A and B are shown apart, each in its own frame.
Chain A
Amino acid sequence: EKWDMPMAYAATNFHSEVGAAFASCVTEGTGGELEIVTHPSGSLFGGAEIKRAVMTGQAMIGERLMSAHQNENPLYGVDSIPFLVSSFDEHEELWSIAEPYVSDALAEDNLHYLYSVPWPPQGLYTNKPIEDISDLKGLKFRSYSTATAKMAELTGMLPVQVEAAELSQALATGVAESFISSGATGYDRKVWEQLSNFYEVDAWLPRNAVFVNADAWSDLSDESKSVMNDCASTAAADGLQRSKDYTDFTLEELEKNGMTVERANDTLMGQLKEMGEVMTNEWLEEAGEDGKAIVDAYKGE
């Protein structure tokens, strides 16, 4: 049997490479009985369509940025609560608590959760040095989600809505002057052409999840399932390591190309954490009991 696996990001992105390795792991492990063919760059289904495609069996397996679907279920956005965690390790701690809840949520959407890999931590790009949260006031800030729009509101930045595809042009023409994203985005889009500072604030670490159509999953033989599970845990571990390595690499590259890359000072970090508190509470209001259970368990540890 052949499964097509739509993926949203470019073939050279580490997520896509981990996915490709997972696919060949399964193909080899099942002796070709189950062949997985990856389709990177949104060449089969684009990012926004992948979850629907897998839910309804238009593709049997796929990878998607989970938090993109948090309108449907706030639990999908548990990895994107601003300033709740502030490092890879803290994030993994949070995720180990949240994973079963998210897995259940996906099951309700006819999806079997396999594994997920975090993106590098989200930092703050600006066109000038920022010492204090008040320095942000009036800066044109790219807001593309509920959380980023809220951040603009809380900091007094001017929110400008810019789609990912238009980011480079928006920066070049001064439509946007700052945004939040990982070091990887800055490296990919070569933002040093326009912006000067990157602050490691580790705002959040969004995850890409790989899931299988639930009916297709239950039709698999036990051997195939166990091969898939083994390959999935290899991919998860490998992906985490590559995400960490890639973070170091991209930050070095930003610096090499003339950007100032530094951790935010304690004052700024404290102010951002305060803002994070407000936003965590807002998320909790939407996410109900499950959300509360996750955050309580995380804070209790």
Chain B
Amino acid sequence: MKLLRRTLDTAYLIGGVIASFFLIAILVIIVLQMLARWTGQVFPGATDYAGYCMAAASFFAFAYALNHGAHIRVSILLTALGRHRKWGEIWCFGIGTAISTWFAWYAIRGNQISLRFNELSQGLDATPIWIPQLSMSIGTVLLAVAFWDHLIRLIVTGSHGITTDLVDQSQGE
């Protein structure tokens, strides 16, 4: 049980770390593209690669952001529920689990469609689109897993285990 817990939390964190590499990659690509332009070179497909990195930097971090309470929601009603809050949370995590699972399912399907039709990028890079789309499939699956994880924990232990990041919330102090 403990091992499973550690594995899952590590998986979300790794997602976040991978996303951060892609964020750095966006910076590097943009800088290279500018250098190329100033020196009269071409960096074919730079904008497309930056776009793929953008997608990867988002999708890989979805679960990580959820785990740190970074995804936002309107919690007036939940607060108002007081000691019955658990039932409100179960509703929220239930809906979240359903939608994120549906999202992941179709992300994989969409990825397969790109592979089946051999869709190529329309830019200079001519990348087979299914390759960068893997970030979407993996990231959304990770998000769905995170939702199932929190939902089950919520039902079993009564608490969902999302810790709001102190650094994020303490900016005021």
Contact = CB atoms under 8 A, between A and B. Distances in A.
Interface stretch (A65-73, A218-226, A239-247, A262-270): A65-73
A68 B40 contact: no
A71 B43 contact: no
Contacts of B37: 158, 160-161, 175
B118 interface: yes
Contacts of B118: 72
B18 interface: no
Q: How large is the interface on A (under 10, 10 to 19, 20 to 34, 35 or more residues)?
A: 20 to 34
B117 A55 contact: yes
Nearest to A156: B40
Interface stretch (B95-103, B120-128, B165-173): B120-128
B57 to A, nearest CB: 19
Nearest to B39: A158
B47 to A, nearest CB: 6
Contact of A161 (B40, B47, B120): B47
Interface in A163-209: 163, 175
Nearest to A158: B40
Interface in B80-131: 113-114, 117-122, 124, 126
B122 A71 contact: yes
Interface string B38-61: 001011101100000000000000
B33 interface: yes
Contacts of A144: 124
A158 B38 CA distance: 9
A69 B122 contact: yes
Given A56-B113, A160-B37, A161-B47, A149 B120 contact: no
**A48, A52, A152 — most chain B CB neighbours (10 Å):** A52
Given A109-B117, A159-B40, 6 more contacts: A52-B113, A72-B118, A72-B120, A110-B117, A159-B42, A161-B33
Interface of A: 48, 52, 55-56, 68-69, 71-72, 109-110, 143-146, 149, 152, 158-161, 163, 175
